[in-house]
Structure 1
Amino acid sequence: MPADPTPVLFVHGYWHGSWCWNEVIAEVASTGRCCLAVDMVGHGLRARRPESVNARPFDTEALATEASPVADVDLDQAGDLLASQIERLGRGGPVTVVAHSMGGTVLTRAVQQVPELVAHAVYLAAFMPASDVPAIAYIQTPENEGELVGPSLRADPTAIGALRLDPAAPDADYRGRLRETFYGDVDPGVADAAIGLLSPDAPAGIALGATTLTREGWGSVSRTYVTCARDMAIRPALQQKFIAEADAAFPDNPTSVVTLDASHSPFLSMPGEVAAIVGKLD
């Protein structure tokens, strides 16, 4: 590791929060490296829960139709917040940023905004959309066939403005599907605890937004993509599509690729391996 390695900022994906990086941060911090996990807009401490989630008696129709309290959140807000978080951690200097899942879309926007503040962009089983293409355009592509997020949604995103899960559902089959979707190789007890921490609503506006990428912006920053071979949320073929599109657009700055034999959430199933990948970056 360099004498003065860059700080590391961790960004979660849809429904998660900064909490999901706790084990990775413990590993990275033990090496003496400065690191921080943050909440995206509409998530974690910034999340807002629909009333129908906690209403008693529980009303499944209300859950399926109630407008989301985060329906007004979009990629512009998410990118601006992340850019400010990067600037604050780095205090004007460069930061390595690791993003998971839909957090990758937000990372792409922030890097395009402040490329001089990002030393390395790391996409961990993340959306890494091409220029002017919204993340949502990839979800139903042939490369993502077999994904389990869509079947887990409890409402029409176009009607409520969010992708809604029901983490508190008592239905054992539904909770089992959530475990398979996000935490297939995670200890069952840890997976159940993680499900309990998920926010019900993920703002659809983040996935609907797109970013124009330039050679001087996003295309100028070093990037690594960490693929997850057993991912049921972003299928491995789609992960490869992201890499291929990026390399075709910016061939002078190819993507470094690392592969983990993991499900969608290696920050919980193999935090040491994730930390080791980060530790090799300046």
Structure 2
Amino acid sequence: MPLATTDSPLLLLPGLWHGSWCWSEVVAELAGAGRASVAVDMAGHGLQARREPRWYTRRSYDPEAVATEVSPVADVHLDDAAELLTAQMRLVGGGAPVTVVAHSASGIVLTRVAQETPELLARAVYLTAFMPASGVPPATYNGIPEAGEYRLGPLFTGDPAVTGALRLDLATEDPAYREAFREVMYHDVAPDLADAAMGLLTPDAPVGITLGTTTLTANGFGSVPRTYITCSRDVALRPAVQDRFIAEADAAFPHNPTSVADLPSSHSPFLSMPRELASVLRDLG
């Protein structure tokens, strides 16, 4: 099938702890369908993580260090993540608009970029992602009634105000901890694939990315075509919260309603159903 040159390139942005690697099967499926795409790392993640925290690579496990060591990405904030994404978009698009697909908390970064540089976006796509309303801290949505039990919260190690990170204790040998994380993020992913993915995660996600807010305007974020891909089996970001994001955006910018697609997936459809996800993304402008 020839390359769909009339479509903007897809730039795939992973969420917290994940790197560009998580999109590999989706990129392959898109290539087979003739749609150009590239996966990148978010600031503080993957190859942008600088180095692993010391506690993670020590030969002997030190729970005190896990809980207290300041993260090497503690100084990464939403402004930094938005600046990097903007540079990636300019590179991939050659100055022309691109379609950005943001997963989970990287939606916070996409929203900031959509507000600041809407001319670089052909479409903003939120894959079971945070799409916070104007001026609302993203963490607010973890405590709303629609969110139910926040199952990721108990899995964080240490105080983010001390470590500067939302830290996963991926060095632990506690099978219950690892199983709890798998159930939240990958419950419909084959166990061996889920284990492989966990081995590639960056243990520290910069908390500063999740603390930033963005004031949204009609000429900024409100002017960008947007699509929300809901995941109806997601227990990390509940479907009711996903629906809340859509409703708030449409109420704020009714002239530019959100188009919606749905996948019967967990929080990680790029692993559990890459072909189906690619099929949705293939046809986006």
User: Above 0.5 in TM-score?
Assistant: yes
How many residues get paired? 282
Task: Return the offset for 1:219.
Answer: 0.4
Conserved 8 A contact 2:22-2:270: yes
Among 18, 30, 33, which residue is 2:32 paired with?
30
**2:174 paired with 1:171:** yes
Task: Return the offset for 1:174.
Answer: 0.8
**2:75 paired with 1:72:** yes
Taking structure 2 as the reference length, what is the TM-score of the superposition? 0.96
**2:7 paired with 1:5:** yes
Q: 1:196-240: CA deviations, max 9, x gaps?
A: 001110000000001111111110011111111111211111111
Q: d(CA) in 2 for partners of 1:194 and 1:2? A: 31
CA RMSD of superposed structures (Å): 1.2
Structure 2 residue aligned with 1:19: 21
Q: d(CA) in 2 for partners of 1:85 and 1:227? A: 25
Q: Counterparts in 2 of 1:133-144, with a 5 A limit?
A: 133-144=136-147
Mean alpha-carbon deviation: is it higher for 68-77 or for 162-171?
Answer: 162-171
Uncovered stretches (5+) of structure 1, i.e. residues with no partner: none
Q: d(CA) in 2 for partners of 1:49 and 1:138? A: 29
Q: d(CA) in 1 for partners of 2:266 and 2:158? A: 25
Conserved 8 A contact 1:146-1:232: no
Task: Return the offset for 1:56.
Answer: 2.8
Structure 2 residue aligned with 1:250: 253
Q: Counterparts in 2 of 1:148-187, with a 5 A limit?
A: 148-187=151-190
Q: d(CA) in 2 for partners of 1:257 and 1:136? A: 23
**2:14 paired with 1:46:** no
Q: d(CA) in 2 for partners of 1:167 and 1:227? A: 28
Taking structure 1 as the reference length, what is the TM-score of the superposition? 0.97
**2:118 paired with 1:87:** no
Mean alpha-carbon deviation: is it higher for 96-105 or for 131-140?
Answer: 131-140
Q: 1:236-271: CA deviations, max 9, x gaps?
A: 111111111101100111111111111000000000
Q: 1:171-212: CA deviations, max 9, x gaps?
A: 111110111111010011100000000111000000000111
Conserved 8 A contact 1:98-1:124: yes
Q: Percent identity?
A: 59
Q: d(CA) in 1 for partners of 2:67 and 2:197? A: 23
Task: Return the offset for 1:80.
Answer: 0.8
> 1:3–1:118: structure 2 CA closer, same or farther, 3 Å change rule?
same
Secondary structure of the structure 1 residue equivalent to 2:115:
helix
Q: d(CA) in 2 for partners of 1:169 and 1:159? A: 20
Corresponding letter in the other structure for 2:157: R
Structure 2 residue aligned with 1:240: 243
Conserved 8 A contact 2:182-2:194: yes
